[in-house]
Amino acid sequence: MNTDNYFIWRRETEQHFQAINSTEQLKSLIQTLVVSLGFDSYAFLIQHPVPFTRPRIFLHSTYPKAWITRYEQKNYYAVDPVLVLCQQPGRGVEWSSDLFSAAGDLWKEAQEHGLNSGFSCSAMASNRAIGILSIASRQADKTQHLHTELEVKLHFLAELSLRSLQRFSDDTLMVLKNDFSQRELEILKWTAEGKTSAEISLILAISQHTVNFHQKNMQKRFNVSNKTQIACYAAAIGLI
């Protein structure tokens, strides 16, 4: 990869992202950039950090609709190795038969729908949501000898895409509105330290009733059943 050309590409790409003002423009821009890299289509999957057992997932994609429908029908989310490996932001994953060997018919069916080669890489948003950008080509072996270049460029594109969605306050990236008061954040931090309501009231010089009131309100906002979950979720999304 030519370093000088890369920095020119990076500067121009960032300017393109700064010029857009909506999610629809973002989708169009990603497709244009993917084509400029020599690929046909993309999928940008956003995985939220909570709930822990069944994280919320959103997908922006130009893959064939029939493939997206099939992927969801077969629940390939549960066996797709890309989604596991890309939990480490910045790590590039080149598609191959070996990669999907334990994923049942996923690779065979993807190829049947025209996804004959591809590459994936991810980035992490400030709220700890993971954005996994995958690009695909109808041409086999399209990614050969391009691992380093694609890893660097896709990581950057995923980062810019996440930042843009946050800038647009797009629902697909909003884990929770970050409008907690200073008092609520203080209570969250002490709750995460394992302090009881009575102990927090003494530390903050407020009534125990006030502590309980804020904790109950935060339980509703996080949609959880107890204060332990409040603290865990707050830590998971980078709130504390």
**Cα Rg for the chain, rounded, in angstroms?**
21
Which residue would you say has higher pLDDT here, 30 or 189?
A: 30
Q: What is the structure's pLDDT at 235? A: 79
Residue 4 clears pLDDT 70, i.e. is over it: no
Residue 1 has pLDDT above 70, yes or no: no
> What per-residue confidence (pLDDT) applies to 208?
92
Tracing tokens 């429908």 back to the chain, one arrives at: 69
Concatenated DSSP letters of 150-199: HHHHHHHHHHHHHHHHHHTT-GGG-SS-----HHHHHHHHHHHTT--HHH
Q: Which residues contact 115 (CB under 8 A, 6 or more apart)?
A: 41, 63, 64, 67, 136, 137, 138
Q: Beta strand 41-47 with 93-94: parallel, antiparallel or unpaired? A: unpaired
- pLDDT, mean of residues 193-206: 91
Looking at every residue in the chain, the average pLDDT score rounds to 92
The pLDDT value given to residue 162: 97
Structure tokens at 195: 């302090």
Q: Is the pLDDT of residue 237 over 90?
A: no
Given this model, what pLDDT does residue 129 score? 92
**Where do the domains of the chain lie?**
3-173, 182-236
CB 43 within 8 A of CB 27: no
Q: What CATH class does 182-236 carry? A: mainly alpha
pLDDT for res 221 = 79
Of 178 and 206, the one with more pLDDT: 206
Q: Please report where in the chains the tokens 């009131």 appear, as a residue.
A: 213
What is the model's pLDDT at position 175? 66
> What are the pLDDT digits (tens) for 35-78?
999 999 999 999 998 876 777 899 999 999 999 999 999 999 99
- pLDDT of 161-194, one tens digit each? 999 999 998 989 876 656 788 898 899 889 888 8
Which pTM was predicted?
Answer: 0.81
User: Any idea which of 54-63, 77-86, 108-117, 223-232 has the lowest mean pLDDT?
Assistant: 223-232
> What CATH code is assigned to 3-173?
3.30.450.80
Span between the terminal Cα atoms of the chain, in Å: 39
